[in-house]
Structures are given as structure tokens and as C-alpha cells.
Amino acid sequence: MRRPWCATVRNVLLVGLATSQCACPVIAWFTAQFGPKEKVAAKFDPPKDKRMLVFVDDILSPVVYEPIKIELTRRLNELFVEHKVARETVSYDRLADLIMATPDFNRLAVSQVGQKVGADTVLYLHIDRFSLHDRATEELWKGRLQVTVRLTDVEKGRLWPKDREAGYLVDEVETPTRVTTSDTTADEITQELAARMADRIAKLFYEHERPHEGAWSGD
């Protein structure tokens, strides 16, 4: 019996190979979807039985659009529980309540913030760069986000990385340039940046798979 998905893959390849302009992207897509995978070890394996606070901060580079902090926190909380990086996580609302109730909040150490919200560990995430516009115009949009992270135990201190004082610099993510005056663009770009960055950060802490480096990439 011919499997339906085999026919689908065959048809995609035939369409792509019909012209030289389409062949490379189609083969690259096929390789990524069905090619060999390699396991990627976690950069750090945190204790799994802890309650974690994701603390997104912008004290050195204040963001122009506050929802990026909420969205990053929400997505990371979901990924950490899903992949068992933490037993449970602290909601952004709980952290926001503490900030509002603490006039000298910015003077608290990261470990103190964690203790006050009942967390065992804190993933401190500093936003180093966040922008929504490519240039100084309201119509030209291009999202960029870069962050530095470090993991702290509220009792024992720094867990990871111990060899980089500022933390681990995560590769920047960006969105394609678009021209629009839509009122929803800022939210759409923010959600896309947060989803991609959260995925990169979460994978620092659990084993995952990616296309094998030896696989043909289409370059």
C-alpha cells in the first residue's frame, strides 16, 4: 500500500525540481524535515525539582515596547514546564506585583527577587537589544532581539555560566523587513521575536535534535 505522505513528498520534490530556481529550496526543506538528525546536549542541566522564576530585565537598555518582557516570560515558562527544565514556574503577574509593591526594587539582588516570589532558582534574562523599526520611520518594521542569560540558585548563588560574569550571550533573532501602518504590527513582531528567542533559550537547558551538520543545506 502506498503511504499518502510518500506521495505528498514525491509531489513536492517533483514540483521543486521542475525548475532550477526552485530545486535548492525544496531539497533544503526536504532535508530539514526528513533528513538525519543529531542530538544536541544541553549547555547546562539545571536541577529539575525546583520552582523557577524567569526574570526578564531591561535596566541597562530600557525597551520601547513593554509586552516583550511579558511574552518572553510566558513562552519560557511554558517551555520549561513542557520539557521538564523546572518543576513549576512563577508567573509574570507575581513578579509584576512585587515590582509595584517595592519602591527600591532595582536595588534588590537577583537572588532576593527570587526569594520574595517563592522561587528556588532564577533565570535572569537581560535584554541587550530590542527594536521594532529598521530605521527612523513608522512604516518600515524589522524586529531584532538579543539577550544575555544566567541561572542563579537563590541560596547557593550563580549556577551557570560561571566563566562569564555578564552571562551567556544568546544569538540575536530578527524578523524580515516589512512596510505597513497596521496597528497590530508591533504585537505581531513582538510575539514572533519572543517565540524564537524563547526556543533558543529553552534549548540551552535540555537535550534536543537539529538537522545533521553533514546534511545538504542548499548553500
**Whole-number pLDDT of residue 217:** 38
**Whole-number pLDDT of residue 208:** 84
**Whole-number pLDDT of residue 109:** 97
**Whole-number pLDDT of residue 31:** 55
Measured distance CA(175)–CA(192) in Å, rounded: 8
Q: Extract the C-alpha cell encoding 67.
A: 509586552
Helix (H) or strand (E) holding 76, with range, is helix 67-82
CB neighbourhood size of 104 (10 A): 6
Structural domain spans, the chain? 4-34, 51-209
CB neighbourhood size of 8 (10 A): 10
**CATH number of the domain located at residue range(s) 51-209 in this protein:** 3.30.160.150
**Whole-number pLDDT of residue 187:** 96
Stretches where the chain sits below pLDDT 50 are: 1-2, 5, 7-10, 12-22, 29, 214-219
**Whole-number pLDDT of residue 27:** 52
Q: Could you report the per-residue pLDDT of 164-193, keeping only the tens digit for each?
A: 999 999 999 999 999 988 999 999 999 999
